[in-house]
Amino acid sequence: MTDTPLSLIRNFSIIAHIDHGKSTLADRLIEACGALTAREMKGQVLDSMELEQERGITIKAQTVRLTYPAKDGKTYILNLMDTPGHVDFAYEVSRSLAACEGSLLVVDASQGVEAQTLANVYQAIEADHEIVPVLNKIDLPAAEPERVRKQIEDVIGIPADDTVDISAKTGINIEGVLDALVTRLPAPQGNAEAPLQALLVDSWYDSYLGVITLVRIKEGRVKRGDRIRMMQTGATYHVDQVGVFLPKMKTVDSLGPGEIGYINAAIKAVADCNVGDTITLDNRPAEKALPGFKPSVPVVWCGLFPINADDFEKLRTSLGKLRLNDASFHFEAETSAALGFGFRCGFLGLLHLEIIQERLSREFDLDLIATAPSVVYKLHHTNGKVEELHNPADMPELSQVASIEEPWIKASIMVQDDYLGPVLTLCTERRGVQLDLTYVGNRAMVVYRLPLNEVVFDFYDRLKSLSRGYASFDYQMDGYEESDLVRISILVNHEPVDALSFVAHRSAAETRGRSICSKLKELIPRQLFKIAIQASIGSKVIARETLGALSKDVTAKCYGGDISRKRKLLDKQKEGKKRMRQFGKVEIPQSAFLAALKMD
Amino acid sequence: MPEPLALYIHWPFCLSKCPYCDFNSHVRETIPQERFSQALRTELAYQATRLNQTGRRLLGSIFFGGGTPSLMSPDTVAALINDAQRHFSCVNDLEITLEANPTSVEADKFKAFRQAGVNRLSLGVQSLRDDTLKSLGRQHNSHQAIEALELGRSIFPRLSFDLIYARPHQTMQDWQNELRQALDLAADHLSLYQLTIEPGTQFETLHQRGDLILPEDDLAAQLYLKTREEAARYGLESYEISNYAQPHAESRHNLTYWHYGDYLGIGPGAHSRLSLNSALLAARCHRAPEAWATLVEQHGHGTREELPLSSDIRGQEALLMGLRLRDGIQTDAFHTRTGKTLESCLDLDILNACIKEDYLLYDGQCLKATLEGRLRLEALLSRLVL
């Protein structure tokens, strides 16, 4: 196979809100171009992770190369980069967008534009993409294409007079989409004879082939036998194979400008492949690297601890393996008096956190306890030092802190006007500041500035239940601001339980402290002695519950024949206590922590 | 002066298996009376010879337990009592207890048991309510129980009976009424047990399925306190977790267990604690009746396992038995028996916390659990005992 002429290549992404039909459309395109036989087609081909198929969301960007004989008689190569729809994965989105020249914006013709769509569209606009609006589910009785077209123009601000109206599910007008790709998107540019500049879009570990890198060739050409060089690290590798995804892997002789494909080059560790790096040839390097991506910064942190302490090493290995395929997530070892050895992990957002946790349990068979998510605070010490705080338990004495800054977000919420009232109340309760409120039909879009701290604490669940599941929500980080924040410690029998401490605004401290104390009172089994459960700020107790002593625990009968058995039971009970967490004279079963942490 | 030896004789047969009972009991179409009588006598003779090596032992009590020992032939009971008196020297007022079920068949044998030498009867009444007796799988009704009690009182100098309370759906008022009726019938001793779900019983299956629900701990505690209070009004003091007696009418045999003294158990599944040649041996016999009898016929004894106990284990055992008693543990006796000082067996932080909380009393001579401590004894022991 020789390089495809640039004029016959189109590289595109699909942008859509969850459930608006992005993956179904991708499947139809693959089908229409005959990339897979009917037998190989299973729903949502590109969402290959088990978890993705189950939850109907895309986590990792995927790619496929399609061959399309267009109406003009020429055969085009269409490279589809699938993108995650959720804001947590904006980083993955930006990588995909950088590899393409245009995007399909898929909008549900009855639901209209959703909050999550916006961020991705703006990213695409920023990446200079040509955007083709596609109205999906046009066959539904509730479809209102006219209204949605107007909404696209009003809310997003792009022309929408010539949308492609389709039904991905029933296959209506898939041809129209393919035609629009060829006629409306620009062809890539580049010079096959220039020194190689390949953008490293993604890399992952394949247990048969080792590290695979997904690249977009901007300039030059790469082929088997070349010696490539990573421009950031300077490391060089021998190319074993180059190829494309059909979506199955297929080797090709070379990859030229405008093409998207993979390089397999005996790279040992994914860590050696920095996503966003430029790959060039060792013997004829490019002068300059391509602009990379904004590195991803974790905004939400939580502790992950194995329920079974013996699984600590397994957890470390598993986190390492996950990081191979997900560079956006961070982890460092952490020790907790309550939960033992574990890791403090940083995530791009709450969904990202949930996904990683679920992958750990599913793919690595690990039972984990996650502590309450916390955001990254900026601590200004009285001695002038500024420090980032990832873990509320690490917060120093208030006397050492001059001020604390917390991260804010700009949140867009779209909701039916019936539910607008409660949503506004929720945002106000969470210290939100309203920036904007606009209507499209009977749907309101509100924009609020909110402290992220208030959002990681059950905001999303509340929003969903207030709006009967209709509200859609998205956010972008919006800087740091000083705030009156306090660390609330939870004390059991006067000993602090590090895993349960949290940071909150002073105005919310007492309510939340009280709620955790009363939950713990229900969760901790009664003990030999009565126990005080307290919430405190520094040495000041702000909430207190007393758990009474157990009322009766004695066996009715114990005679000469029972002694041996009773003594063995005693040994077993003592053994059992070793597995519990000691707080002074109190043993708390891990299950109580688990439940306490889950209830947030 | 060590406590006299207690002799336990196990009769492993019952007419039917009760759904709450995890004792070593077996149902057979016909009971081979002669074989088991002979085997028990053989094993008793064997163990007596062994124990008397270092001098003839003093015997303080004999207890026929089961199973249902009232199913034994009175001749067997007489023979075993005679044998024991021949093998050992006996205290003047040797306590000889026999457990009996209150069916009419067994009540007919009471006189013969008395003539055999039994001077204390322990009746398995369990309840004075017919529906409860049925659900407990008992073969008698409340009328028969009352008749057996009255007959027993007229025949035996001492009499105790068992009741089970804290049963499913039982209210405080129900129990108070039943208990008062029982106290009117009581002689010098009562064993009042809260229903316990034992592993391997039919009740355990029901309990796991959720078809048998025990009272919550708070109610169980109230029932317990009420029981003590009512028994005390009738002059029966709680001297152990579940045992109530008039002054000096405590079961001397059972006190030996709680004092962690020497006891010799013969018969299938019987346990022993025996001091011999400066060791304390823990022994248990084969549980299966026929296998035990065969062993006895072959070797003279049916012991399955016999191990000397370390001083640590002796300390643990003495603690978990002794703290069940109102009068607790004497530190001197503890030291003599276990080879360890009492305090070296305890987590002293927990000891102090328990004293402060008024769960334990300790004056250097004697350690005892208060009522509040005894109510929570399992939790207390699991923290206190090293």
Where do the structural domains in chain B lie, given as residue ranges?
5-257, 326-384
Provide the pLDDT confidence category of residue A363 given band limits of 50, 70 and 90: confident
* A528 closest CB neighbour out of B24, B320, B383: B383
Q: Residue A36: is its pLDDT beyond 70?
A: no
A585·B349 Cβ contact <8 A: yes
Provide the pLDDT confidence category of residue A56 given band limits of 50, 70 and 90: very low
Question: Which residues in chain B have their CB less than 8 angstroms from residue A577's CB?
Answer: 382-383
Give the minimum alpha-carbon distance from B270 to chain A in angstroms, rounded to a whole number: 7
A570·B6 Cβ contact <8 A: no
Closest CA to B130 of B145, B141, B144: B141
In one letter, which amino acid is A567? R
pLDDT in single tens digits along all 386 residues of chain B: 578 999 999 999 999 999 999 999 999 989 999 999 999 999 999 999 999 998 999 999 999 999 999 999 999 999 999 999 999 999 999 999 999 999 877 788 999 999 999 999 999 999 999 999 999 999 999 999 999 999 999 999 999 999 999 999 999 999 999 999 999 999 999 999 999 999 899 999 999 999 999 999 999 999 999 999 999 999 999 999 999 999 999 999 999 999 999 999 999 999 999 999 889 999 999 999 999 999 999 999 999 999 999 999 999 999 999 999 999 999 999 999 999 999 999 999 999 999 999 999 999 999 999 999 999 999 999 999 98
Peptide bond before residue A422 is cis, with ω within 30 degrees of 0: no
Question: Which residues in chain B have their CB less than 8 angstroms from residue A573's CB?
Answer: 378, 382
CB atoms within 10 A of CB A313: 10
A557·B196 Cβ contact <8 A: yes
Q: B221 and chain A: CB distance < 8 Å anywhere? A: yes
Q: B199 and chain A: CB distance < 8 Å anywhere? A: no
Question: Which residues in chain A have their CB less than 8 angstroms from residue B195's CB?
Answer: 556
Give the minimum alpha-carbon distance from A340 to chain B in angstroms, rounded to a whole number: 22
pLDDT of residue B273: 97
* B270 closest CB neighbour out of A528, A561, A567: A561
C-alpha A563/C-alpha B316 separation (Å) is 10
Give the minimum alpha-carbon distance from A524 to chain B in angstroms, rounded to a whole number: 15
Q: Residue A296: is its pLDDT beyond 70?
A: no
**Highest mean predicted confidence (pLDDT) among A41-50, A94-103, A443-452:** A443-452
Which range is least confidently modeled, A63-72, A351-360, A500-509, B9-18?
A: A351-360
Provide the pLDDT confidence category of residue A89 given band limits of 50, 70 and 90: low
pLDDT of residue A222: 94
pLDDT of residue B171: 94
pLDDT tens profile A487-505: 999 998 888 888 888 888 9
Question: Which residues in chain A have their CB less than 8 angstroms from residue B224's CB?
Answer: 552
A577·B220 Cβ contact <8 A: no
Q: Contact A500/A534 with Cβ under 8 angstroms?
A: no
Q: Residue A38: is its pLDDT beyond 70?
A: no
Between the CA of residue A477 and those of A23, A269, A291, A380, what are the distances in Å?
27, 32, 22, 20
Q: Beta strand A130-136 with B329-330: parallel, antiparallel or unpaired?
A: unpaired
B220·A552 Cβ contact <8 A: yes
Best mutation site among A557, A572, A574, A582 for testing chain B: the one with the most B CBs within 10 Å? A557
Provide the pLDDT confidence category of residue A1 given band limits of 50, 70 and 90: very low
* A550 closest CB neighbour out of B217, B256, B272: B217
Q: Residue A588: is its pLDDT beyond 90?
A: no
Provide the pLDDT confidence category of residue A84 given band limits of 50, 70 and 90: low
A528·B217 Cβ contact <8 A: no
Strands, sheet with B279-285, edge to edge from the N-terminal-most edge strand: B237-240, B243-245, B189-194, B158-165, B120-126, B89-100, B58-66, B5-11, B263-266, B271-276, B279-285, B303-308
Which range is least confidently modeled, A14-23, A64-73, A356-365?
A: A14-23
Residues A359-380: what's their mean pLDDT? 86
CA nearest to B312 within chain A: A567
Give the minimum alpha-carbon distance from A533 to chain B in angstroms, rounded to a whole number: 18
Helical residues (DSSP H) of A375-526, grouped into ranges: 420-429, 452-456, 459-466, 506-523
Q: Contact A421/A437 with Cβ under 8 angstroms?
A: no
The class level of CATH for B5-257 reads: alpha beta
Between the CA of residue B35 and those of B28, B243, B289, what are the distances in Å?
14, 35, 11
Closest CA to A216 of A185, A259, A254: A259
pLDDT of residue A580: 63
Phi/psi for A196 (5° steps) reads -60, 130
pLDDT tens profile A171-214: 899 999 999 999 999 999 999 999 999 998 887 777 777 788 88
A564 Cβ contact partners less than 8 Å away, ≥ 6 residues apart: B271, B282, B284
Interface of A with B (CB under 8 A): 526-529, 549-561, 563-564, 566-567, 570, 573-574, 577, 585
pLDDT of residue A249: 82
Given CA atoms A181, A184, A190, A191 in this order, what sign does their dihedral have? positive
C-alpha A433/C-alpha A593 separation (Å) is 34
pLDDT of residue A599: 52
User: Ramachandran region of residue A398, left (φ > 0), alpha (ψ -120 to 50) or beta?
Assistant: alpha
3-state SS track over A387-411: EEECCHHHCCCHHHEEEEEEEEEEE
Whole-complex ipTM = 0.92
Please identify among residues 91-150 of chain B the ones whose CB lies closer than 8 Å to any CB of chain A: none
pLDDT of residue B283: 97
pLDDT tens profile A548-573: 999 999 999 999 999 999 999 888 88
C-alpha A132/C-alpha A246 separation (Å) is 23
Question: Which residues in chain B have their CB less than 8 angstroms from residue A583's CB?
Answer: none
* A559 closest CB neighbour out of B257, B382, B383: B257
For chains A and B, CB pairs below 8 A equal 102
Q: Residue A42: is its pLDDT beyond 60?
A: no
- From start to end of chain B, where are the E strands? 5-11, 13-14, 26-27, 58-66, 89-100, 120-126, 158-165, 189-194, 237-240, 243-245, 263-266, 271-276, 279-285, 303-308, 329-330, 360-362, 366-369
Q: Residue A90: is its pLDDT beyond 70?
A: no
Q: Which residue has the tokens 């011999």?
A: B276
Reported pTM: 0.67
Question: Which residues in chain B have their CB less than 8 angstroms from residue A553's CB?
Answer: 217, 375-379
pLDDT of residue A468: 81
A552·B265 Cβ contact <8 A: no
Q: Contact A346/A298 with Cβ under 8 angstroms?
A: yes
